[in-house]
Amino acid sequence: EEAGVEPEAEGADVELEAEEPDGVPEATGRTEVALLRSEAKIGKMEREILHRDLSSVEETLGKVVEKLKVLENEENAT
């Protein structure tokens, strides 16, 4: 044993090295970035789909309102 170095401290260092192999934090970082990009892309697609759906609903409601006006005018004419 070296003077001033406790056996537990040496063993702990070896354990930490074994738990954190080189490259893991970088790979994790790349994975997190890829996940965030995927989530952003999905969010953008969801907004586009929602906008399209709402535009379709708005168009349909406009047609319903026009038909109701026609029916109301026909009813008032009689």
End-to-end CA distance of the chain: 109
Asked if the model's pLDDT at residue 76 lies above 70, the reply is: yes
Helices (runs of H) and strands (runs of E) counted in the chain: 2, 0
Predicted structure pTM score: 0.49
Q: Please tell me the least confidently modeled range out of 27-31, 43-47, 61-65, 70-74.
A: 27-31
The one-letter amino acid at 66:
E
Read off the pLDDT of residues 1-46 as tens digits, 9 standing for 90 and up: 455 555 555 555 544 444 455 555 777 888 888 999 999 999 999 9
